[in-house]
Each structure stands twice: as C-alpha cells, then as structure tokens.
Amino acid sequence: ARALLEQLLRGDADQLMILLPTGDALDDINYLQFAFHKDVHLYALLSAARLLRRNSAHSLWDMIRMSLSYARGPQRAKLFRRLSDADEGHQAQFASLASPPTITLALEPDSPYANTPVAGRGERVDEGDARYRLRLASDASATLPQRVRRVNPQAINDALDGLDTLLRSTAATEAEWNYLASLGDSLGEDLLGDLRAPLDQLQRELEASRPNQLVHLALRVPRELMRYPWELMRDGTQMLAQRFAVGRQVWSDSTRIIERIERDADPLRVLIVGDPTLHAPYASDAQLAGARDEAEEVAALFEDLTREFGRALDFRRDRDVFIRTTLTRAAMRRLLRDNGYDIVHFAGHGRFSAGRPERSAWLLSDGPLWASELRNTFAWSRSPPWLIYANACEAGMTSDREGPRYTGDVFGLATACINQGVEAYVAPLWPLDDRAGKHMATSFYRELMLQRATLGAALHQARLETEKASRARARTGFGIFDISWASMVLYGDPGARLIDALGGEL
C-alpha cells in the first residue's frame, strides 16, 4: 500500500486504486497528501447528505451506533474523535459548503406615492416623488438598520438619458467614464445616505467572521424601480458591483408561492442558441456576428468541460447547439419544455417593453418569443432551467443614428422565468461590446463550473476579468475603454450554487 501511495504521489501512475485500510492501518495512509483529497472529501460529504435526504436518517444513525457499540476501545476512541473534532482542513471544507456571507438591502414602499407627509417635517411628496424604506440585514448583526429615503425616478431617468449618449460609442474616454461614476455617486447619495456606515460595518463583520470569502449582496427592489442600474450605485469609492457579489431578488406581484424545483440527479444539460436566422418579415433586422461568435465560444467551452466532467455533463453540439440556423418559436418552446435543460444560453436580438413587460421577448426565426410565452412554457415543464444567461439586446434593431441604448426593462423576461421556477436570469442592462460579451460569458461559466462558485461570485469575477481586459486594451489603443463589464446583472439569489441544485453530481 505504501508503494502504491508513493507511486500516486509521484504522478507516474496510470490508474487510481481506492485503498480501504482497516483498523489501525488507517493511520498508515496519510491521504491528506493527495492533491485531490479536498474534492474526495467534498464528494463524500455531499453523498452523505444525499443519503440522509433520500433514506431514513434513523437507519443511518443505527449504523454509527453499532460501530460505536462493537468497536474495540482504540477504534471507538478514534471514531469519537472523528465525529466530534474536525481538523482545520475539514473545517474549511464545511465552511465552503455553507451559505455565503450575505447582506440584504431591501427597498420597500413606505407610503402611497403622492400627498404623503414626510416624517417629522410636514412636507408633502411631489408628484412623481416617492418615499421608500431601506432595510439592511445580515446574519452577522441582530440589529436591522433602516432609513426612509425619497426617490425621484424622473431625476434617475434624466441621468439615464445621459448614459444613452455615452452608450452610443460603447467605449468611453476617462471623462465619459467619470459621468458613469457620477451617476453611481448620485444613486448612492440619494438612496444609501447615512446607511453607508452601517453597510460598511456589516461588510467588515462578515469578512472577519468568514475570511477569504466574498460578501454577497441581495437587492430587494420593487418592480417600479427594477429598471434602474442599482449595481452602479457607489459609496464614494466603488460601485456595489465591484464591492459585492450582487443579485436582485425578484418580487412576485401575485400571491402564488414560487416553487423551488427538486432536480433529478441526472447529468447536466445545456442549450446554446446564438443569432438565429431571421425570416420575413424580420429578415430586415441585421444578423449579429457578435452573438454568433459568443455562442461559438460558449459551445467550445462546454465541449472542453465535457471532457473535464465526463458523464456528469451531457452536452452534444449536434443536439444542443443552434447557431445561425432556423429556430422557430414553437421549436424553442419544445426544447425548453421537453429536454430538461439545466442551463440555457441565448445570444441574439431582444425586444423590451417598459409599459408591458410581459411583451418583452427574444427574437427567433419567425418572430418574438414573449416573456408571457416563456412563463407559460416553464409552467408546463417538468423541470424548468436552473439558469438562463441571455445576452439579448435591441442593438442592431434600431437605426444607426439612434444607436445602442439603456434597456433596463429586461426585468420583464427575468421575472417571467423566475416566477416559474428558474433559479436565476443573467442579462445586460445595455448592449455589450462583442469582445466583452464573449469574455464575460466564458469567464462566468468557468467560475460557475470549475470553481463551484456561487452565481453572484461567478458574475463578480467575470466582471473583474472583463474590466481588466478592457483596460489593458485601452492602454495599447487611444485612451478609451469599454464599459460593458458593468452592464451584466443577476436576477435571483446571488448565493445559489449549481452543485447544490444538482445534488452534488458535478
């Protein structure tokens, strides 16, 4: 056994044997030296959790009780130590499985929107002006700091008009970037106000209690304010999207409880759709080469991941990839309804409606697939997707003079999907540069799959890497850099992990 161990540690073995020493011989095998021991422990722990969930916990405890009853003294003492004392390595593994450190920032209507006295001042809220109650919460603090703030949506809309001007080039000079930062500062001043200090304190407490773990921020924003770029809100130095792993929690307007799907322990399935071929009367809209390239990059990545994960990932290009080909609305709905996809990646045209968010849509070969139709399809699906990543925007569907613009009304699609069991929806608030789109998507999936990151942490890291790549290009160019990295937002729980949803199968 010792010779086999040394052979494995040298790395010149061509196969892996699992050794099952008995009694005191267990001490002779220092398996903690294996480079893969953490993954082995993680898989064993998840397997035990699945056993507890799917079988009688009493029967499993009987097995442990019998081991304690009939083992000899030394073996029984060792078993007690293993049950009661975890070494630092095991503690780190348990910590990695725990829910990530999370702060919740909730923005709730405090009163009717008009003719409402402002607390303590006797003023009245002007038309279009509204009062909201902000609440901070986390597991690290028993207190719930809260403030009542006034929000002027018209002022934010005026600022977004300036952002539209900036987006027409997608690449920003330093002065134009400062405008984006100024928009974030204004949001922070008007909304956070003196809650900035409690937010900083909560972050420090969580970082102290959970070292080396990124703090997550769950934003609970009412529907009427969902279109605004809250991730850009600054505390004077950084945007929320730079400080935290941010996700927007979607509030349902109905009384229906959103059911969380208990997913089967089947292999992971992925659907990739890129730049569907448009037919009349939609053929006049330009095909999107950038969307096609992004989908190709994502498909190539999942082909590589198939070799990494083996049977845990069931992905075939001929069956699961639709790039620059005809894909009708009916065909897309059939794929989503019947094929059990866990991840759906869409790159192509989108349409967004502020007044009727249920009419927001992905554009397929024969027309728009509305948010309401996606909702209906997922309602009939045995297992709706766990994640939808949709780089769908109206760029290319407007005149060259108008150019790209802010499309915050994507929340209509996100809400329709999440209210029918989809865990998360990732989408841009404005069009992405083609290079940034590819970089953002592939970085996100690598973090999600290879690093077992949470959704929020995966998107946070993808933002950082895309921003770094953009600034590196700017240093070799003309002093401009792309701001697409700030566009992508997550609708859903930022602390959710794919491996948890699949029962530890990855």
Average pLDDT score over residue span 131-143: 78
Average pLDDT score over residue span 482-505: 84
Structure confidence at residue 167 (pLDDT): 64
**Is the bond leading into 384 cis (omega within 30 degrees of zero)?**
no
Average pLDDT score over residue span 468-497: 78
C-beta separation of 482 from 472 below 8 A: no
Structure confidence at residue 298 (pLDDT): 98
Average pLDDT score over residue span 418-446: 92
Helix, strand or coil for residue 253?
coil
* CA 261, chain centre distance (Å): 17
Burial of 2 (0-12, 13-18, 19+ CB in 10 A): exposed
Letter for the amino acid at 119? A
Structure confidence at residue 45 (pLDDT): 61
Average pLDDT score over residue span 26-43: 48
Sequence-distant (≥ 6) Cβ neighbours of residue 344 within 8 angstroms: 270, 271, 273, 336, 385, 387, 388, 389, 390
Structure confidence at residue 211 (pLDDT): 86
Entry pTM: 0.77
Compare 71 and 354 and report the one with higher pLDDT: 354
Outline where 13-135 has alpha helix (H): 37-54, 57-70, 73-84, 88-97
**Does the structure show a pLDDT above 70 at 112?**
no
**Does the structure show a pLDDT above 60 at 93?**
no
Structure confidence at residue 3 (pLDDT): 63
**Does the structure show a pLDDT above 70 at 241?**
yes
Structure confidence at residue 63 (pLDDT): 63
Average pLDDT score over residue span 206-233: 88
Outline where 98-239 has alpha helix (H): 153-167, 174-187, 196-209
Compare 271 and 252 and report the one with higher pLDDT: 271
Average pLDDT score over residue span 306-327: 94
Structure confidence at residue 125 (pLDDT): 41
Beta-ladder partners of 107: 134
Average pLDDT score over residue span 409-425: 88
**Does the structure show a pLDDT above 70 at 431?**
yes
Structure confidence at residue 363 (pLDDT): 95
Compare 212 and 31 and report the one with higher pLDDT: 212
- Determine what percent of the chain is predicted with pLDDT higher than 70: 64
Structure confidence at residue 119 (pLDDT): 37
Sequence-distant (≥ 6) Cβ neighbours of residue 448 within 8 angstroms: 455, 458, 498
Average pLDDT score over residue span 452-462: 96
**Does the structure show a pLDDT above 60 at 41?**
no
pLDDT, the chain, mean = 78
Structure confidence at residue 104 (pLDDT): 92
**Does the structure show a pLDDT above 60 at 397?**
no
The class (CATH top level) of 268-501 is alpha beta
Structure confidence at residue 5 (pLDDT): 54
C-beta separation of 140 from 128 below 8 A: no
Structure confidence at residue 115 (pLDDT): 39
Average pLDDT score over residue span 94-106: 78
Lowest mean pLDDT of 177-186, 441-450, 460-469, name the range: 177-186
Structure confidence at residue 110 (pLDDT): 77
Average pLDDT score over residue span 399-425: 75
Question: What single DSSP character describes residue 417?
Answer: H
- Dihedral angle over CA of 90, 92, 93, 98, nearest 10: 130
Range with the largest mean pLDDT of 171-185, 359-373, 472-486: 359-373
Sequence-distant (≥ 6) Cβ neighbours of residue 312 within 8 angstroms: 267, 268, 505, 506
